[in-house]
Structure 1
Amino acid sequence: MDRELGTGRRVVVLGGTGSIGRHVCARLRRDGWTVLAVARHATAVPDAGRFLRMDVAAADVPRLTALLCDERIGAVVNATDGANTSDGWDHPAEHLIETNVRAVRRLVDAIAAVPWRPRLVHLGTIHEYGPVPPGVSVHEDAAPRPAGDYARSKLGGSTAVLDAARSGRIDGVVLRLTNVTGPHPSPAGLPGKLLARARAAAGGERVGMGVADARRDFVDVRDVAAAVSRALASTATGQAFNIGSGAAVPIADVIRALTEAAGLPEGALYDDGSAVRSVGGDWIQADVRRAADVLGWTPEHGLAESLRAMWRER
């Protein structure tokens, strides 16, 4: 059955008030979708659409199925994550497995139980591939070798979506995101931590942080939202797409750009020699050609502009 039969353009964004979900909601509304944001916590998010309070990670299959049927949902965006804006990154493996793997499996089962065929766009992470050698642009065909509990749990959720889509149970894709910058970043991620240090430096402190030789791929959250919209409109199913800039940028360069965006004096943020924490190694660069070829998506916001927007928005 056609996924939009009787549903119109009705989409539910799970995790719709989070640092990424809020931008996805706003973009989809602008693109003509009727949006229902579902999350544990309501926030004052402009253009988010309707809001429903629900702990998606704790919801069973019948409750999720009823939500999709009662709301006549034609598409689902899963922007939930066991490591999130509210809870941070430090969780035991069991928590991450429950929220990033088992909850995604329940969501897949709920979507498969709907009488029509809702489309699912699931947000994964570039860390699912694990560390790669410097100079390598990681492609979607790379064999995943995630390092650490978080990355392994995210791969488990993405695999559940891809397996179900490839077997024909559901219609869906996975977007694997690099480090997300832009307005309202998660304080648990690298950009959010950089922003917090820049704000401290703006208060007159001289703030140290780890820089080393680490390089990361950064993508603006508004470009992520655009990629979600493109993925919902696409007929591709059972595929993963890397969503990033396609460039590995030295963290030292990011700090300099953020210093300039904040109008801070040179040296207000400095390398204190501490280790740079990562779940994906010291080099991250995504091959984003598949997203361009299949989804028609390319990033539009450069890193400097993204950092300026991140600094301006409070």
Structure 2
Amino acid sequence: MTHEQPCVGVLGGSGFVGRNLRAAFRSSGARVVSVSRTLPGGTGGDDPEGERSIAFDLLADGPAELGAMLADTGADVIVNAAGGYWKMTGGQMWGANTELVSALVAAVRKLPHRPLLIQLGSVHEYGPGSRDAGITEERTPAPVNAYGRSKLEAARRVLDAAGTSELNGVVLRIANIIGPGLPAGSLLGDIAAHLKRFARDGDTAGSELVLGPLSAERDFVDVRDVADAILAVARAPRADVSGRVINIGSGAAVSARRVAERLIQLSELPVRLVERARTDTSRSDVDCQMLDISLARRLLGWEPRRDLDASLTALLAAA
């Protein structure tokens, strides 16, 4: 960010990542413009924390309206934390993740100034990984599900435009995000919601939590560490980050079962985890995903500061 009191536009500002990101940028002294379908608290304009909120449907409003809204924000940095995954069809994900970014790239290209566009991508763009080594940014992506394919195509559209110097754009491929405020719909968000209900009901003796197969190993990263990484990208020289893919994760893989069991242990509730056997053999999935985060360390001076227990404890506290 190049001058005093920079302005940051957060698209999807009312979502899980967006809320944490807005707080991090406010703490850094930036002026924040939150863009989402609904206004936080049902109010608009400037709030007491110096944040401006705009109600704007990124999927329903047209490209001209999108460009006008972005120009009105005057943002030096635009972070795309919008999109969709849970409870969406493949076509809906393509619209929310790919077509939205196409419209965003077209709008940013026409802005009279040249903001930095930070596209929040996903580890699922890469596809299967290995337990032997983390996936590097040089790896050729091979996504195995509709979400990964939609995010990969969105990333390509940002990188193609950045490659022709038509905009300043960077793609962060982020591991599985956890931490305070993780919504239901995700595995750990659902577990936290169940535990909250068990605690509310009081009598949890003999309670069972039945989940699907948990053998997959995943890279989990705290949402607050993700926000720190995005701040680091926003502060970096544009020439260092524009046109790049940068991995953001923990750099380690842990089994979903171990994480689920640890979340239950930290709740201190007498709940037993029951894992169902896989019955749908046609489902596309991968056994292990783990990111190599060497580039983020070298280029941004960033690495995660919160361990798994800190993330899970914060998730339970927020629930």
Moved more, 103-112 or 195-204: 195-204
Identity over aligned pairs, percent: 34
Report if aligned partners of 2:188, 2:260 keep a CA contact under 8 Å in 1.
no
- Counterparts of 1:142-221 in structure 2 under 5 Å? 142-202=139-199, 203=201, 204=204, 205-221=207-223
CA distance in 2: counterparts of 1:275 and 1:196, whole angstroms = 25
Query: Residue 88 of structure 2: which of 72, 76, 90 is its match?
Result: 90
Quote the residue 1:81 is aligned against: 83
Report if aligned partners of 2:2, 2:235 keep a CA contact under 8 Å in 1.
no
Is 1:28 paired with 2:32?
no
CA distance in 1: counterparts of 2:171 and 2:163, whole angstroms = 12
CA distance in 1: counterparts of 2:36 and 2:284, whole angstroms = 26
The amino acid that maps onto 1:126 is V
The 1:311–1:13 alpha-carbon spacing in structure 2 relative to 1, beyond 3 Å, is same
The amino acid that maps onto 1:273 is A
Query: Residue 270 of structure 1: which of 271, 274, 284 is its match?
Result: 274
Query: Residue 136 of structure 1: which of 128, 133, 137 is its match?
Result: 133
SS at match of 1:185: coil
Quote the residue 1:284 is aligned against: 289
Following superposition, the deviation at residue 296 of structure 1 comes to 1.3
The 1:233–1:94 alpha-carbon spacing in structure 2 relative to 1, beyond 3 Å, is same
CA distance in 2: counterparts of 1:280 and 1:274, whole angstroms = 12
Quote the residue 2:38 is aligned against: 41
Following superposition, the deviation at residue 199 of structure 1 comes to 2.8
Following superposition, the deviation at residue 114 of structure 1 comes to 0.9
CA distance in 2: counterparts of 1:276 and 1:43, whole angstroms = 40
- Stretches of structure 1 that go unaligned for 5 or more consecutive residues are none
The amino acid that maps onto 2:256 is I
Report if aligned partners of 2:121, 2:152 keep a CA contact under 8 Å in 1.
yes
CA distance in 1: counterparts of 2:82 and 2:284, whole angstroms = 18
Following superposition, the deviation at residue 115 of structure 1 comes to 1.1
What are the superposed Cα offsets for residues 128-171 of structure 1, whole Å, 9 maximum, x if unpaired?
00112443311111001111211101111111111111211111
Moved more, 200-209 or 212-221: 200-209
Report if aligned partners of 1:201, 1:207 keep a CA contact under 8 Å in 2.
no
Report if aligned partners of 2:40, 2:53 keep a CA contact under 8 Å in 1.
no
What are the superposed Cα offsets for residues 207-241 of structure 1, whole Å, 9 maximum, x if unpaired?
11134422111000100111111111112111111
Quote the residue 2:64 is aligned against: 62
Report if aligned partners of 1:9, 1:74 keep a CA contact under 8 Å in 2.
yes
The amino acid that maps onto 1:207 is L
Moved more, 293-302 or 186-195: 186-195
The amino acid that maps onto 1:233 is R
Report if aligned partners of 1:209, 1:274 keep a CA contact under 8 Å in 2.
no
- Counterparts of 1:118-129 in structure 2 under 5 Å? 118-129=115-126
Q: How many residues align?
A: 305
CA distance in 2: counterparts of 1:19 and 1:257, whole angstroms = 22
Is 1:243 paired with 2:245?
no
What are the superposed Cα offsets for residues 1-59 of structure 1, whole Å, 9 maximum, x if unpaired?
xx868x95111100001011000000001011100111112344996922111111233
Alignment RMSD: 2.4
The 1:12–1:196 alpha-carbon spacing in structure 2 relative to 1, beyond 3 Å, is same
What are the superposed Cα offsets for residues 189-212 of structure 1, whole Å, 9 maximum, x if unpaired?
222123233334434231111344
SS at match of 1:38: strand
Following superposition, the deviation at residue 100 of structure 1 comes to 1.1
CA distance in 1: counterparts of 2:183 and 2:56, whole angstroms = 20
Report if aligned partners of 2:11, 2:34 keep a CA contact under 8 Å in 1.
yes
Quote the residue 2:311 is aligned against: 306
SS at match of 2:59: helix
Report if aligned partners of 2:119, 2:172 keep a CA contact under 8 Å in 1.
yes
